[in-house]
Amino acid sequence: MTTVTPREQAAVNARRVLDRARARRDALPIREAAEQAAVGSFRSADEIELILRRLHRAARSEQRAMPEAPAAVAA
């Protein structure tokens, strides 16, 4: 007998799996992530590492530009 999973539960399960995979990926050192991303890619690990470092810098600068909390802006 086959169990049918409701659509909502399937979406929750899929989101959980993707969140775990994303967390594992984000925990990798940049060089290791670049080497893994280069497998089967037309870009080299060095190119991908450079791209990742640029993205990390951009993300950090955006975080600093954002206020700490919305309430701090209103005060």
Total number of domains in the chain: 1
What's the CA gap between 54 and 62, in Å, rounded? 12
Q: Which domain holds residue 16?
A: 7-74
- pTM (2 d.p.): 0.60
Domain-embedded: residue 24: yes
Domain-embedded: residue 45: yes
What's the CA gap between 68 and 75, in Å, rounded? 12
Domain-embedded: residue 2: no
What's the CA gap between 18 and 31, in Å, rounded? 22
Domain-embedded: residue 51: yes
Q: Which helix (H) or strand (E) holds 30?
A: helix 30-38
For the chain, helix (H) and strand (E) counts, in that order, are 4, 0
Domain-embedded: residue 64: yes
Place of tokens 């089967």: 40
Domain-embedded: residue 1: no
CB 18 within 8 A of CB 11: no
pLDDT digits (tens, 9 = 90+) for 4-43: 999 999 999 999 999 999 898 889 999 999 999 999 999 9
